[in-house]
């Protein structure tokens, strides 16, 4: 007996092939043991495999190096890149305990062999969706339990990604292959002899494997994929997490959202609802309850539409500065994301209706028209039910829905209580204070003051037809919009109004949005996002003038300075049916607008004719107050467009920035002022090199600018002091 034990121990610790567990010539394949491999620093489980099996299933990457059979160590099985060094934690075994196992099996007449096919332990060189059913489920038998995973979700999502494989970019394809391989490798340790995981543990380990492999172990990483790939993956994974890992759903999806690229929402619709908070008791709405009620009311599922909710938006929209800010928001934003269903949960068989699995949805199951019209449906629902659209007990919660923001293909609409239409908004500011939302119209309280040759200081309201009686639809209309930290009572606005009425028998409307623009310096971005609200309310006023005063054929020219130029742009984009005849941008604001696309600022599509005067443009954050790149049909660069003569160079060059409205006001006096010469590039406009300013001019900057065909840029020089126009 002593001799037998000595032989067994000798075989165990020295791993001699006399033990016949993994003879290099005879195997047997599928045997396992607790061994100490020469290149590793501890004992670990190992499975005996044939060289043929290793070569076949790894495309020749692995073999037994000259023998017919060899040990495949657990560490290399779960992580093919670790061929030596520390034994993986999940692979560690106790040789003494293993001897007891051997004796117990021998007493029962059994061998130390794995219970599933030996090839289940071979590292995945490529994604193999069958591994979940033939290996993981065969070993754990969890499919009939409450924690079914292997076939319903693991194999299902693997198959869905491979089915859609060719629709992904090359990086997306690489992500699919590496992430699926990673998941299989991570879960392979469950097959090891020492693993005692029950179905719940398998389920929990699967969640960790999916999240880690999707976000951190794949190559390339999810965060680095292009937005089209991200969206396909996001809406597929969302169903896995929602149905397979429901207890981890919020945490898991929050991790994915942190990686979504800024342009990712172009592939879906985003709705941000404003919920007014009770002043005395600032209860918070449960975002998921709110979103679920929205989905149920509009029957998202029956139209092939999926949804998700951003649970962290409210916290991101708040900061210490917001809390200390005297005009902090009194509403709670809730963001709901809506897209077509990429994946659906269906009954796997009639005999087991409670056992479901994922499947890729067919294009025909998706009601595209419904999704395209969803914004209108929600708006109508708001109107029909007096803004209480989600069957939430608003009295009990002491709050009510006061508005909704919806983003369609990058365009945001916001509906506010008291407005007959929705406010369009496309500017999303991403700064150290992420998620800055616009103030409500009530907070901004924009005023529209009409001046004519015979009347002045007439306050107009789009919702009050009687206030519009002094507006003359037969006369041209000029609308002046101020910018940051200004008001409608500025001297330059009074001077411009006076000059316009001296030259024209016209309607001059001054837009005063002081409450929305007069922010502290570190809240500049708040004023920037408020331009969206002011611009759309301005469009509502023009629409009301058309409806009640017949102004549809009136020549309307908006003249906006700094942020006011972008107000004009948002007014133009919100009023596409008639479009304004002309918008003049006087040194449009640069900070926070430089990296925005054309829909999020003034651009040439906002009116029939857009001309821009650049006086303090540049690319430095706050040092350059204006937008330098061309953005209109015609762009003028007096003195190069960056700095104006007679102005001292300061960190905030308000002097150069203000010259734009000074130039325009002076240009009203005569059609011979501010002669300009065309330049072939922005660099030439900035330097003036090679431009003959003594010859015949190509155009005039300011009020009398000629709308010529094509997009043009012009250079000109001015004097240091008024009069600024050179002879």
- Is 587 designated active site? yes
**Rounded distance, CA 401 to CA 418, Å?**
12
**CA gap 631, 711 in Å, rounded:** 9
Sequence-separated (6 or more) residues with CB below 8 Å from residue 142: 148, 149, 150, 199, 202, 203
Question: How many Å apart are CA 336 and CA 401, to the nearest integer?
Answer: 14
The C-alpha atoms of residue 385 and residue 378 are separated, in whole angstroms, by: 10
The Cα–Cα gap between 526 and 518 comes to: 10
In the 8-state DSSP scheme, what is residue 27? B
- Residue 151's CB is within 10 A of a number of other CB atoms, namely 18
Q: Which is nearest to 567 in space by CA: 604, 509, 606?
A: 606
**Concatenated DSSP letters of 337-353:** EEEE-SEEEEES-SS-T
**Which residue in the list 657, 658, 667, 725 is annotated as catalytic?**
657
Tell me whether residue 643 is one of the annotated catalytic residues.
no
Instruction: Label the pairing between strands 423-425 and 411-416.
Output: antiparallel
Distance (Å, whole) CA 626 – CA 642: 8
Distance CA 687, CA 602 (A): 25
Judge if the upstream peptide bond of residue 676 is cis by omega within 30 degrees of 0: no
User: What is the biggest distance separating any 2 CA atoms in the chain, rounded to whole angstroms?
Assistant: 122
- Report the distance separating Cα 54 and Cα 120, nearest Å: 11
Residue (of 451, 403, 448) closest to 425 by Cα position: 403
Pairing relationship of beta strands 580-586 and 269-276 according to DSSP bridges? unpaired
Q: Is the peptide bond before 123 cis (omega within 30 degrees of 0)?
A: no
Give Cβ neighbours of residue 464 (< 8 Å, ≥ 6 apart): none
- Do 612 and 585 form a contact (C-beta atoms < 8 A)? yes
Which has the closest alpha carbon to 53: 107, 3, 118?
118
Active-site hit among 33, 229, 439, 587: 587
CA 483 → CA 519, 527, 625, distances in Å?
Answer: 11, 9, 11
Q: Can you tell me whether residue 31 is helix, strand or coil?
A: strand
* Backbone torsions φ then ψ of 197, nearest 5 degrees: -60, 130
Q: Exactly one of 179, 236, 472, 562 is catalytic; which is it?
A: 562
Q: What angle do CA 432, 433, 438 make, to 5 degrees?
A: 145
517 vs 485: CA distance, rounded Å: 5
Cβ-count burial of 282 within 10 angstroms (0-12 exposed, 13-18 middle, 19+ buried)? exposed
Tell me the pairing of strands 556-561 and 477-481. parallel
Closest CA to 275 of 372, 411, 382, 410: 382
Interatomic CA distance for residues 406 and 272, integer angstroms:
6
Our measurement of the distance from residue 435's CA atom to the centroid of its chain's CA atoms, rounded to an integer in Å, reads: 11
The residues carrying an active-site annotation are: 562, 587, 657
């Amino acid at each position: 007996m002593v001799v037998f034990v000595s032989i067994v121990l000798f075989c165990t610790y020295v791993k001699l092939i006399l033990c016949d567990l993994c003879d290099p010539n005879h195997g047997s394949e599928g045997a396992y043991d607790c061994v100490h491999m020469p290149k590793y620093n501890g004992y670990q489980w190992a499975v005996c495999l044939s060289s043929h099996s290793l070569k076949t299933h790894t495309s020749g990457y692995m073999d037994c190096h000259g023998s017919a059979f060899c040990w495949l160590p657990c560490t290399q099985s779960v992580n093919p890149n670790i061929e030596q060094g520390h034994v993986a934690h999940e692979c560690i075994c106790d040789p003494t305990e293993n001897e007891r196992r051997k004796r117990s099996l021998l007493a029962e007449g059994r061998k130390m062999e794995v219970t599933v096919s030996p090839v289940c332990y071979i590292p995945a060189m490529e994604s193999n969706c069958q591994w979940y059913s033939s290996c993981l489920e065969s070993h754990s038998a969890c499919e009939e339990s409450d924690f079914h995973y292997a076939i319903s979700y693991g194999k299902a999502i693997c198959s869905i990604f491979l089915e859609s494989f060719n629709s992904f970019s090359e990086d997306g394809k690489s992500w699919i292959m590496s992430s699926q391989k990673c998941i299989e490798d991570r879960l392979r340790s469950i097959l090891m002899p020492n693993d005692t995981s029950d179905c719940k543990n398998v389920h929990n380990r699967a969640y960790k494997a999916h999240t880690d492999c999707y976000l951190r172990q794949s190559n390339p990483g999810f965060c680095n994929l292009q937005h089209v790939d991200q969206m396909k993956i996001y809406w597929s994974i969302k169903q896995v997490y929602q149905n397979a890992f429901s207890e981890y759903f919020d945490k898991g999806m929050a991790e994915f959202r942190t990686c979504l690229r800024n342009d990712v929402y172009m592939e879906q619709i985003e709705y941000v609802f404003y919920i007014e908070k009770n002043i005395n008791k600032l209860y918070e709405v449960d975002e998921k309850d709110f979103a679920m009620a929205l989905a149920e009311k509009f029957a998202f599922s029956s139209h092939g539409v999926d949804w998700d909710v951003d649970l962290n938006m409210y916290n991101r929209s708040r900061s210490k500065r917001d809390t200390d800010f005297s005009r902090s928001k009194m509403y709670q934003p809730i963001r709901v994301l809506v897209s077509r269903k990429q994946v659906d949960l269906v009954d796997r068989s009639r005999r087991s209706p409670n056992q479901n699995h994922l499947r890729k949805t067919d294009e025909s199951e998706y009601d595209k028209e419904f999704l395209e019209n969803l914004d209108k449906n929600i708006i109508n629902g708001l109107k029909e039910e007096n803004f209480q659209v989600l069957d939430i007990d608003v009295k009990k919660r002491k709050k009510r829905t006061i508005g909704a923001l919806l983003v369609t293909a990058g365009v945001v609409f916001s509906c506010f209580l008291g407005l007959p239409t929705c406010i369009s908004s496309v500017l999303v500011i991403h700064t150290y204070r992420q998620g800055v939302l616009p103030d409500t119209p009530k907070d901004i309280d924009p005023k529209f003051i009409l001046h004519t040759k015979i009347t002045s200081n007439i306050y107009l309201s789009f919702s009050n037809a009687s206030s519009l009686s002094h507006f003359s639809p037969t006369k041209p209309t000029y609308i002046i919009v101020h910018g940051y930290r200004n008001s409608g009572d500025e001297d330059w606005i009074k001077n411009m109004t006076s000059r316009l009425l001296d030259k024209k028998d016209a309607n001059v409307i001054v837009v005063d949005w002081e409450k929305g623009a007069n922010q502290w310096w570190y809240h500049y971005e708040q004023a920037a996002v408020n331009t969206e609200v002011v611009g759309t309310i301005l469009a509502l006023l023009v629409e009301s003038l058309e409806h009640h005063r017949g102004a549809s054929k009136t020549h309307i020219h908006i003249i906006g300075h700094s942020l006011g130029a972008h107000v004009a742009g948002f007014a133009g984009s919100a009023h596409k049916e008639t479009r304004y005849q002309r918008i003049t941008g006087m040194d449009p604001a640069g900070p926070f607008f430089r990296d925005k696309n054309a829909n999020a600022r003034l651009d040439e599509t906002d009116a029939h004719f857009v001309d821009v005067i650049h006086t303090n443009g540049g690319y430095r954050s706050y040092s350059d107050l204006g937008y330098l790149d061309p953005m209109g049909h015609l762009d003028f660069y007096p003195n190069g467009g960056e700095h104006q003569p007679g102005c001292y160079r300061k960190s905030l060059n308000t002097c150069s920035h203000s010259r734009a409205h000074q130039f325009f006001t002076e240009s009203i006096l005569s059609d011979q002022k501010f002669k300009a010469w065309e330049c072939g590039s922005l660099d030439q406009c900035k330097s003036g090199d090679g431009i003959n300013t003594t010859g015949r001019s190509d155009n005039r900057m300011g009020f009398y600018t000629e709308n010529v065909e094509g997009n043009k840029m012009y250079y000109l020089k001015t004097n240091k002091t008024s009069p600024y126009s050179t002879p």
